[in-house]
Protein backbone atom coordinates (compact mmCIF):
# COMPACT_ATOMS: atom_id res chain seq x y z
CA UNK A 1 0.00 0.00 0.00
CA UNK A 2 1.47 3.34 -1.06
CA UNK A 3 2.10 5.86 1.69
CA UNK A 4 -0.18 8.88 1.40
CA UNK A 5 1.37 12.29 1.79
CA UNK A 6 -0.19 14.53 4.42
CA UNK A 7 -2.09 17.60 3.26
CA UNK A 8 -1.42 20.93 4.97
CA UNK A 9 -3.52 24.09 4.96
CA UNK A 10 -2.36 27.65 4.47
CA UNK A 11 -1.29 29.41 7.66
CA UNK A 12 -3.88 31.35 9.64
CA UNK A 13 -4.12 33.12 12.98
CA UNK A 14 -6.09 32.50 16.16
CA UNK A 15 -6.37 34.45 19.42
CA UNK A 16 -6.52 33.07 22.93
CA UNK A 17 -4.50 32.36 26.06
CA UNK A 18 -1.27 30.40 25.93
CA UNK A 19 -0.64 27.26 27.98
CA UNK A 20 2.22 24.73 28.18
CA UNK A 21 4.50 27.18 26.41
CA UNK A 22 7.80 25.71 25.17
CA UNK A 23 9.20 28.28 22.77
CA UNK A 24 12.76 28.63 24.05
CA UNK A 25 13.99 25.03 23.84
CA UNK A 26 12.15 22.06 22.32
CA UNK A 27 10.62 19.52 24.66
CA UNK A 28 12.52 16.23 24.79
CA UNK A 29 10.85 12.83 25.03
CA UNK A 30 12.19 9.77 26.86
CA UNK A 31 10.91 7.41 24.16
CA UNK A 32 13.26 8.85 21.57
CA UNK A 33 10.66 10.96 19.78
CA UNK A 34 11.76 14.12 18.03
CA UNK A 35 12.06 17.11 20.41
CA UNK A 36 9.47 19.77 19.63
CA UNK A 37 8.47 23.32 20.39
CA UNK A 38 4.95 23.61 21.78
CA UNK A 39 2.17 26.00 22.65
CA UNK A 40 -1.43 25.18 23.52
CA UNK A 41 -4.05 27.82 22.71
CA UNK A 42 -7.17 28.23 24.85
CA UNK A 43 -9.94 29.84 22.82
CA UNK A 44 -12.78 31.38 24.83
CA UNK A 45 -16.20 30.93 23.17
CA UNK A 46 -17.60 33.70 25.39
CA UNK A 47 -15.43 36.35 23.71
CA UNK A 48 -15.77 37.58 20.14
CA UNK A 49 -12.12 37.00 19.29
CA UNK A 50 -12.28 33.53 20.83
CA UNK A 51 -15.46 32.48 19.04
CA UNK A 52 -14.18 33.88 15.73
CA UNK A 53 -10.99 31.86 16.19
CA UNK A 54 -12.96 28.70 16.98
CA UNK A 55 -15.03 29.15 13.83
CA UNK A 56 -11.87 29.64 11.78
CA UNK A 57 -10.31 26.45 13.14
CA UNK A 58 -13.49 24.43 12.53
CA UNK A 59 -14.07 25.81 9.02
CA UNK A 60 -10.45 25.20 8.03
CA UNK A 61 -10.54 21.68 9.50
CA UNK A 62 -13.80 20.90 7.69
CA UNK A 63 -12.43 22.02 4.32
CA UNK A 64 -9.22 20.07 4.89
CA UNK A 65 -11.14 16.93 5.88
CA UNK A 66 -13.28 17.00 2.76
CA UNK A 67 -10.14 17.31 0.64
CA UNK A 68 -8.20 14.60 2.46
CA UNK A 69 -10.94 12.06 3.20
CA UNK A 70 -13.11 12.06 0.12
CA UNK A 71 -15.68 14.61 1.20
CA UNK A 72 -16.05 13.31 4.77
CA UNK A 73 -16.27 15.71 7.71
CA UNK A 74 -15.23 13.83 10.87
CA UNK A 75 -17.93 13.05 13.40
CA UNK A 76 -15.65 14.37 16.14
CA UNK A 77 -15.47 17.70 14.31
CA UNK A 78 -19.26 17.92 14.06
CA UNK A 79 -19.61 17.10 17.75
CA UNK A 80 -17.21 19.76 18.96
CA UNK A 81 -18.73 22.32 16.58
CA UNK A 82 -22.16 21.65 18.08
CA UNK A 83 -20.70 22.17 21.55
CA UNK A 84 -18.98 25.48 20.87
CA UNK A 85 -20.76 27.25 18.01
CA UNK A 86 -24.32 28.40 18.72
CA UNK A 87 -26.87 27.14 16.19
CA UNK A 88 -24.77 24.21 14.99
CA UNK A 89 -26.90 21.04 14.90
CA UNK A 90 -25.92 18.13 17.11
CA UNK A 91 -25.07 14.96 15.14
CA UNK A 92 -27.48 12.05 15.36
CA UNK A 93 -26.34 9.84 18.28
CA UNK A 94 -26.77 6.84 15.98
CA UNK A 95 -24.20 8.17 13.52
CA UNK A 96 -21.40 5.65 13.00
CA UNK A 97 -17.97 6.86 14.08
CA UNK A 98 -15.68 7.33 11.08
CA UNK A 99 -12.54 6.91 13.19
CA UNK A 100 -11.01 10.25 12.18
CA UNK A 101 -9.36 11.92 15.18
CA UNK A 102 -8.91 15.64 15.73
CA UNK A 103 -6.23 17.32 17.84
CA UNK A 104 -8.43 20.04 19.36
CA UNK A 105 -10.87 19.29 22.16
CA UNK A 106 -13.03 20.68 24.96
CA UNK A 107 -11.06 21.92 27.94
CA UNK A 108 -13.66 20.32 30.23
CA UNK A 109 -11.87 17.01 29.53
CA UNK A 110 -8.84 18.19 31.50
CA UNK A 111 -8.39 19.41 35.06
CA UNK A 112 -5.72 21.94 34.14
CA UNK A 113 -5.81 25.51 35.37
CA UNK A 114 -7.77 27.72 32.95
CA UNK A 115 -8.98 24.92 30.66
CA UNK A 116 -12.62 24.70 31.81
CA UNK A 117 -15.04 25.82 29.10
CA UNK A 118 -12.27 26.52 26.58
CA UNK A 119 -11.75 25.24 23.04
CA UNK A 120 -8.25 23.79 23.25
CA UNK A 121 -5.82 23.82 20.31
CA UNK A 122 -2.50 22.07 21.05
CA UNK A 123 0.15 22.94 18.46
CA UNK A 124 3.76 21.89 18.02
CA UNK A 125 6.66 21.85 15.59
CA UNK A 126 9.56 19.38 15.62
CA UNK A 127 11.28 20.64 12.46
CA UNK A 128 11.41 24.43 12.61
CA UNK A 129 11.63 26.74 15.61
CA UNK A 130 8.47 28.88 15.66
CA UNK A 131 8.73 32.64 15.42
CA UNK A 132 8.15 34.51 18.68
CA UNK A 133 7.14 38.17 18.56
CA UNK A 134 6.17 41.06 20.82
CA UNK A 135 3.21 43.36 20.20
CA UNK A 136 5.20 45.29 17.60
CA UNK A 137 5.74 42.13 15.60
CA UNK A 138 9.46 42.06 16.38
CA UNK A 139 11.36 38.96 17.46
CA UNK A 140 11.58 38.65 21.25
CA UNK A 141 13.97 36.47 23.25
CA UNK A 142 13.45 34.58 26.54
CA UNK A 143 13.83 36.93 29.49
CA UNK A 144 12.84 39.98 27.46
CA UNK A 145 9.63 41.89 27.99
CA UNK A 146 6.58 40.40 26.24
CA UNK A 147 8.08 36.96 25.73
CA UNK A 148 4.95 34.71 25.83
CA UNK A 149 4.28 32.73 28.99
CA UNK A 150 1.56 30.32 30.14
CA UNK A 151 -1.47 32.44 30.98
CA UNK A 152 -0.86 35.47 28.78
CA UNK A 153 -3.01 36.33 25.77
CA UNK A 154 -1.45 35.68 22.38
CA UNK A 155 -1.93 35.52 18.65
CA UNK A 156 -1.04 32.10 17.28
CA UNK A 157 0.04 31.34 13.73
CA UNK A 158 -0.80 27.75 12.80
CA UNK A 159 -1.56 25.35 9.99
CA UNK A 160 -3.67 22.19 10.07
CA UNK A 161 -2.59 18.93 8.48
CA UNK A 162 -4.41 15.72 7.63
CA UNK A 163 -2.87 12.32 8.37
CA UNK A 164 -3.97 9.23 6.49
CA UNK A 165 -1.57 6.32 6.84
CA UNK A 166 -0.96 3.07 8.71
CA UNK A 167 -1.28 4.96 11.99
CA UNK A 168 -4.80 6.13 11.20
CA UNK A 169 -6.58 9.30 10.15
CA UNK A 170 -6.12 12.49 12.13
CA UNK A 171 -6.29 16.27 11.86
CA UNK A 172 -3.24 17.80 13.58
CA UNK A 173 -1.99 21.31 14.30
CA UNK A 174 1.40 22.68 13.31
CA UNK A 175 2.85 25.63 15.24
CA UNK A 176 4.38 28.42 13.16
CA UNK A 177 4.61 31.27 15.64
CA UNK A 178 3.32 33.05 18.74
CA UNK A 179 2.89 36.79 19.27
CA UNK A 180 2.37 38.34 22.69
CA UNK A 181 -0.94 40.19 22.86
CA UNK A 182 -1.46 41.19 26.50
CA UNK A 183 -0.72 40.03 30.01
CA UNK A 184 -2.89 37.50 31.83
CA UNK A 185 -2.80 35.65 35.13
CA UNK A 186 -0.06 33.03 34.93
CA UNK A 187 -1.26 29.44 35.06
CA UNK A 188 -0.14 27.19 37.87
CA UNK A 189 0.38 24.18 35.57
CA UNK A 190 3.80 22.70 35.26
CA UNK A 191 5.89 22.50 38.41
CA UNK A 192 4.52 20.96 41.60
CA UNK A 193 4.81 23.26 44.62
CA UNK A 194 6.83 21.66 47.43
CA UNK A 195 4.61 23.41 50.00
CA UNK A 196 1.63 21.46 48.70
CA UNK A 197 3.42 18.13 49.06
CA UNK A 198 5.24 18.37 52.40
CA UNK A 199 5.02 19.80 55.91
CA UNK A 200 7.74 21.14 58.19
CA UNK A 201 9.65 18.29 59.83
CA UNK A 202 10.11 17.98 63.57
CA UNK A 203 13.26 16.38 64.97
CA UNK A 204 13.19 12.86 63.64
CA UNK A 205 13.12 10.00 66.13
CA UNK A 206 13.42 6.30 65.47
CA UNK A 207 11.44 5.04 62.50
CA UNK A 208 8.09 3.51 63.27
CA UNK A 209 7.99 -0.29 63.44
CA UNK A 210 5.50 -1.08 60.71
CA UNK A 211 6.47 -4.29 58.95
CA UNK A 212 2.91 -5.45 58.43
CA UNK A 213 1.99 -4.84 54.81
CA UNK A 214 -1.58 -5.94 55.35
CA UNK A 215 -1.37 -8.69 52.75
CA UNK A 216 -2.50 -11.39 55.14
DSSP per position, the chain: -PPPPPEEPPPEEEEEEEEEEEEEEEEP-TT-PPPEEEEEEEE-TTSHHHHHHHHHHHHHHHHHHHHHTTTPPPHHHHHHHHHHSTTPPPPPTTPPP---EES-EEGGG---TT-TT-EEEEEEESSSPPEEE-TTS-B--TTSTT---TTSEEEEEEEEEEEEETTEEEEEEEEEEEEEEE--PPP--SSPPGGGT--------SPP-----S--
Give residue 211's pLDDT: 52
Task: Give me the architecture of the 7-27+36-185 domain, per CATH.
Answer: Beta Barrel (2.40)
pLDDT tens profile 182-199: 999 998 755 555 655 667
Per-residue pLDDT of the chain (216 residues), as tens digits, is 344 668 999 999 999 999 999 999 888 876 667 899 999 999 999 999 999 999 999 999 999 999 999 999 999 999 999 999 999 999 998 999 999 999 999 999 999 999 999 999 999 999 999 999 999 999 999 999 999 999 999 999 999 999 998 889 999 999 999 999 999 999 875 555 565 566 766 665 555 555 554 444
Beta strands 105-106 and 153-165 are unpaired
Give residue 1's pLDDT: 39
Q: In sequence order, what are the residues at sequence separation of 6 or more whose Cβ sits closer than 8 angstroms to the Cβ of residue 210?
A: none
Give the start-to-end residue ranges of the domains of the chain.
7-27+36-185
What is the C-alpha separation between 68 and 61, in angstroms, rounded?
10
What is the C-alpha separation between 171 and 58, in angstroms, rounded?
11
Residue whose C-alpha is closest to residue 72's, from 93, 102, 94: 102
What is the C-alpha separation between 52 and 175, in angstroms, rounded?
19
Name residue 163's beta-bridge partners: 170
pLDDT tens profile 168-179: 999 999 999 999
Amino acid sequence: MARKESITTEKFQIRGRAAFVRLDKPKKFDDGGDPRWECTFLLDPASKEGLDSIKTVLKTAGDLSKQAYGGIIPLALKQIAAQFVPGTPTPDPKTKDDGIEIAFYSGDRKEYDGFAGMFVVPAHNSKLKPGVANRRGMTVQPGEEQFPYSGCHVVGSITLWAQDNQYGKRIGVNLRGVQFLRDGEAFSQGDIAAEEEFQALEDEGAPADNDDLGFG
